[in-house]
Amino acid sequence: MECQQCGERDAVVHLTQIVDNNVTTVHLCEQCAAEKGIESASPINKSPLGDFLAQLGKGVGAGVPADTPHMSCAGCGMTLQDFRDLGRLGCAECYRSFEAPLRELMRRLHGSTTHLGERYAPPGAPAEEAGDRVEELRERLRRAIENENFELAASLRDRLRELE
C-alpha cells in the first residue's frame, strides 16, 4: 500500500480516526508520518507497564538477578529484557522460565508473593462460617500491616467491623 500523502513510498503507519461515527483511515510512509509529528521509530509498541518495569530495572538490584537478564523462555524464546520492554510475557511457559524474577517483582510491587485477595467460591458452594471469615480477615489484616500495605489494611479493617 502506498503512502496517501506522497504516493512514493510504502505506507507503514495506519491511522484510524472515528468522529461522530465517521471512520477515516490514513496510510502514511514513515517520512510523511514524521512530518505530521507521528513517531514510528519503535518497532515494538511499549506499554505503560513496560515503561514501569523498565524504571524498576534502573534501581539498585532491579529485582532481577544480575546473571539472568539474557535468560530466555524455552517456549517462545522471550528474554527477561523483552519482558521489561513490553510489559507482558510471551506464553504460559514464561511463568515457569522466569519464576524467580517474577516472584521478586511481585514481592516488590505488592509486598507479598502470596495472594491476599478474595478467594473464588464456585456457585452452589456452602457459605463459610462467619467465625472462620473473621479469623481469615484478621490474618490478612495482620499480613497487610506487616507488609505496610495500609490501603488494603484499612479496607480489611472496615470489612471486619461490618462482620463483627
Tell me which H or E stretch contains 23.
strand 22-28
Read off the pLDDT of residues 106-141 as tens digits, 9 standing for 90 and up. Answer: 777 776 777 666 766 677 666 555 556 788 888 889
- The Cα 145–Cα 18 span in angstroms is 47
- The Cα 139–Cα 162 span in angstroms is 16
Half-sphere exposure of 164 (CA within 13 A, CB side): 11
Q: Identify which has the larger pLDDT, 126 or 142.
A: 142
List Cβ neighbours of 120 (8 Å cut-off, separation of 6 or more).
none
- The Cα 121–Cα 127 span in angstroms is 9
Q: Is the pTM here over 0.85, yes or no?
A: no
Read off the pLDDT of residues 22-63 as tens digits, 9 standing for 90 and up. Answer: 888 888 888 888 887 776 544 444 555 656 655 555 443 344
